[in-house]
Structure 1
Amino acid sequence: MSGIYIYQLKGWPNFQWNNEVLTGILGDIRFRQGRLLGSMEGLGFNLQDEATLATLTLDVLKSSEIEGEILDHDQVRSSIARRLGMEVAGLIPADRNVEGIVEMMLDATQHYDRTLTTERLFGWQASMFPTGFSGMYKIVVGTWRNNAKDDPMQVVSGGMGREKVHFQAPDADSLEAEMNQFLRWFNSESTIDPIIKAAVAHLWFVTIHPFDDGNGRIARAITDMQLSRADETSRRFYSMSAQIRIERKAYYDMLERTQKGTMDITEWITWFLGCLSRAFNATALTLTAVIKKARFWNNTAMQELNSRQKLMLNKLLDGFDGKFTSSKWGKIAKCSHDTAVRDIQDLIDRNILLKDGAGGRSTGYLLNEAIFDAK
């Protein structure tokens, strides 16, 4: 079977799965989904917005990271906040490629109830590659890949002479028919559970591999779109992409095994549901951080802080990467070192910050955890 791919089988794309195996797993997922959405609804709109912003930021960052592309956290967060109309301190401009990926993800999740069309997919892919290049390579943008001269398109690893072909996509001349069939199925009303439909859609799209580049990220956007349909809300409180990033090797191994297997994709759906369950678990961390941040800013000690202090405290609350020093304060807040020192000393006097380490410019500063318990 190693030389035959799933789309070459006679039954393609009539996927099959064992409902007896999946029923118990799906029931647990549905129960936990209900509890999660219910607990989030009890938070109030402001906290729901904060949780959605945190989740979508994580989703965009990790979906790109799966493909080896590292985006700037603050740019992604700022782009999402602006597009959602949220007033967030310290917004910064975002690069064109960041804006494009954010635009795709928000279109998928905020307009999940709209029909998924060829033109919409073309727009998503074009938005990710605004220059028409992927790295140093010119690619086909805003339409299906056209590999007539260099078919087949292959997913390959290993150096020259040691290449390993993990997957070979359908030939370019079959893409229009393949995608028309996929889109008819995706947009149709069906008796398939919407969460199982998300698992099938992910596998089906990434197997067709219709674009020159961006297939993985678009597959995950389609997955989030279908999961939003399953949740019946545009608010996002868990990140499937973040969990896939953690389990990236298992994700690719499972895709490869399924794409070289039979039309019975029970094993793939079982893995997908398990991954989704673990994404629910990780949501607890996001929720804790959101509530902690809200409690922090509701504290009376936060009154009368200047804009630089609010900006930098939000950096710490969002998880500052590395040692937080006065020199970094000055650079990020765009102020002199003396001003940064005065800002920091004021926060120390208010018991909001604590010193971490010896004196001098190398001194680090931490949030005083006791402030979260104060009234």
Structure 2
Amino acid sequence: MSDHPLGGDHTIPCGDVYRPGTQIPVDATYTALSIDAAGGTVEDSVTFVGTSRNTVVHMSPDALYVTYTDSTSHARQLGAFLRTEFDETPAHVEERIAEIQSYDISARATNREIDRVFEQWLATLPTEERKRLREAFTREFADYRAARQRNATTTGIVRLAVDGTALSVEATGTVPGRPLNQFSMDHHEGTLRITTTIPAVGSADSANDLYVLDSRTLDERGAVTDMGVTERVYSVRYVDETAYVVTFRRIDPFHVVDLSDPDEPEVTGELKLPGFSSYLHPIDDDHVLGIGKEDGAVKTVLFDVSDPSDPSIDDQRVRHTRHWSAISRSHHAFTIDRKHGVFVLPTGEDAIVVNYTDGSLSETATVRTDGTVTRTRYVEDYLYVFSGEEVVVVDERTWDRETTLALEN
């Protein structure tokens, strides 16, 4: 029970909390509320378990989509491999592993016990035979895990239907891998798109996939797989029937994915450049802004996507004296003012105002504050820069500082 500001004491019976059909690690409980905007009363609610770091939520006009991540434990894979796939395993070891797997103990304890049984068996063998079997086990188990890579880590998706003020669990689905954040998922004209990273497993490298699902049934309609092999997703942005995906390990491949045919999505273009973009923002029909890092310094890139088959760079800036931006932690730190043709890049105690028009990135002004800049917002022709110590107001017509308000602790 919690003291909810909208509904007073909000009690949720345990039997009313939705959970996956299989055991997954959870550390958070979420409640979706349907609230009367005029009176503030709670009309309906649905409660479900999830994780504070891996659960992604996306809202469409008629549904709320919620994800959870499930990973096949090493112990489960090890036990299955030794019992059913490794031809050298003797019957008594298989039986002992089956007995261990029947215990109600943690995955870590299960893994430790199976390892112990395996090592005890190897210890009974001659040295050369033990060496041969250990090498065969290492090689074959890596291949076994790699062949099951897309089943090792999966993302479950739940559709909460919104019908007026009524909320109900309507459908569930599963895709391989795990999403990065809320920008990894998007609803568009009867489809749900989700981009995931498939972690490296066994002898298989990491990869990145984009799945197109039916938004009501969550059945898969199409997919693009194996983008950026050996890398992981750093940012995603959907714009109508196009997805922009950045993967990174040593370089930053910027992928352009055509989603106009939900049943046959395809990568139409790719651009490789140093560093990475951890946040993408559409500027206009032909440009996407990337904000991230290169060699530890804050980097901004203006991508030209007018030709989806051949994306290019109109301009890029690496600020070698700036090593952190609040945008890397939260997209709420990003502000774009289309009226004045600028966006604001918070970098420590500075807020750098950047003009993005005419296919270039040029600094218009720098607003310095006491404390770290966390947010910027504009109202009409005035830019408000918030730090932990003060609020600075700047006139965007002249870029002069108008007012500084000190904040008391």
Relative contact order, higher structure (CA 8 A, sep 6+): 1
* TM-score after normalising by structure 1: 0.27
Greater percentage in helix: 1
Greater fraction strand: 2
